[in-house]
Each structure stands twice: as structure tokens, then as C-alpha cells.
């Protein structure tokens, strides 16, 4: 008998997470929650906008919200049981890598030895997280981004599509790394960086 989990966020990101759930074969969807009262159906499932404690607690939750700040806000206001990490069946993951509850790992990702992935992280399609990397809570790694070994990505940082980060670099809290950026040195908290090599355009 399949175990049930629910998702919070009836969006495009939610559709991808539903595919991950289907690929695993051990889970099926229980409820779909969203704050938007105009949403009625999501992939033929009823969207529940009344966030009753009874329904929220019925099954473990995956928060399918791409925006890091909004995801953190909703996680913190919602009394919930967080679902185990949802990892697509095509992911290549080292046995020594550790992935915390609430994190979502999409198709084609590679996670290598001794990487540590904290809670409510998104690792998007085709991304590479090399050995000894640390991804803190609420990080978002976009499609085809590549982190070399021993990279630390602090809470809430967003790494853009196709960005590349060389080994040993630290990405500060709540940073934004632009699409295609090449990061060759540490990035301070709250900075926005773009280009090759990446330059700070906002801090």
C-alpha cells in the first residue's frame, strides 16, 4: 500500500514534484493546498484553500513553492509534519550524501560524496552538487547549475540556471546568482552577482 503525502503550492513547481512522487512509486498524493482561493483544480485534484489543522496534519507535507523567501514564510507559519526528501528516481546520489526532510531533488541531478543538503532545499533538473558541498535551508539550485567540491551555499541563496561555482567558494545568505554566472570568489550575504567572472551588481 502506497503512503500518502500532500503538497502545498498548486504551481508549475508542484507539477514537477508530482512527477517526482510518481517516479518513486512508493507514494501517492493526498491533498493539494494553496492560499489562492481562485484555484479549484490542480491536475484534476481539488485544491484546498482552507488550511485546517486536521487536513494539514493528515499526511506529511512537501512545500512546492519556488520562491525561497515565500517558502520559508509558509513553512514557518504552518504547523506541519514535513515529508521525507522527494528524490526523483533518475538522481545519482552518493551513499554518503545526506539529504534532510522537505527537500526536493529533480530529474537528472548528481549529488556526490559527503554532500550535506539541509531542509526545504530545491535542487532543480540536471544540477550537479559535488563532494563535500553544504546547502543550507531554503537554498534553490536552478537547472544545470554546477557546484564544484566543498562549496558552501548559505540559507536562502538562489543559484541561477547554468551558473558555475568553483571549488571551496562560499555563497552568502539570501544571495542571488544570475543565470550563467561563473563564481570564482566568495559572495557576501544578500548580494546579487552576474557575469563571467561574476561581479556584484547589488548588495
Give the single-character DSSP code of 84: P
Catalytic residue status for 140:
no
Which is catalytic among the residues 13, 120, 131, 158?
Answer: 131
Radius of gyration of the chain (CA): 17
Closest CA to 132 of 121, 116, 144, 109: 116
Give the single-character DSSP code of 85: P
Give the single-character DSSP code of 35: S
**The dihedral sign for the CA sequence 56, 11, 15, 108:** negative
Cα(first)–Cα(last) distance of the chain, in Å? Answer: 51
- String of DSSP letters for 136-188: -TT-EEPTT-EE-TT-EE-TT-EEPTT-EE-TT-EEPTT-EE-TT-EE-S-B-
Catalytic residues: 131
Amino acid at each position: 500500500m502506497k503512503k500518502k503525502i500532500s503538497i502545498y503550492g498548486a504551481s508549475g513547481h508542484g507539477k514537477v514534484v508530482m512527477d517526482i512522487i510518481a517516479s518513486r512509486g512508493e507514494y501517492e498524493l493526498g491533498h493539494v493546498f494553496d492560499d489562492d482561493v481562485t484555484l479549484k483544480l490542480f491536475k484534476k485534484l481539488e485544491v484546498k484553500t482552507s488550511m485546517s489543522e486536521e487536513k494539514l496534519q493528515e499526511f506529511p507535507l512537501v512545500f512546492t513553492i519556488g520562491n525561497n523567501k515565500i517558502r520559508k514564510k509558509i513553512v514557518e507559519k504552518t504547523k506541519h509534519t514535513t515529508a521525507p526528501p522527494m528524490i526523483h528516481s533518475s538522481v545519482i546520489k552518493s551513499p554518503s550524501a545526506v539529504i534532510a526532510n522537505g527537500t526536493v531533488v529533480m530529474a537528472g541531478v548528481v549529488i556526490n560524496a559527503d554532500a550535506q543538503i539541509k531542509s526545504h532545499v530545491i535542487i532543480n533538473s540536471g544540477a550537479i552538487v559535488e563532494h563535500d558541498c553544504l546547502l543550507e535551508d531554503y537554498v534553490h539550485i536552478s537547472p544545470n547549475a554546477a557546484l564544484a567540491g566543498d562549496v558552501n551555499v548559505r540559507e536562502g541563496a538562489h543559484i541561477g540556471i547554468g551558473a558555475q561555482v568553483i571549488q571551496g567558494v562560499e555563497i552568502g545568505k539570501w544571495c542571488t546568482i544570475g543565470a550563467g554566472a561563473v563564481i570564482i570568489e566568495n559572495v557576501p550575504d544578500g548580494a546579487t552577482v552576474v557575469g563571467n567572472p561574476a561581479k556584484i551588481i547589488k548588495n
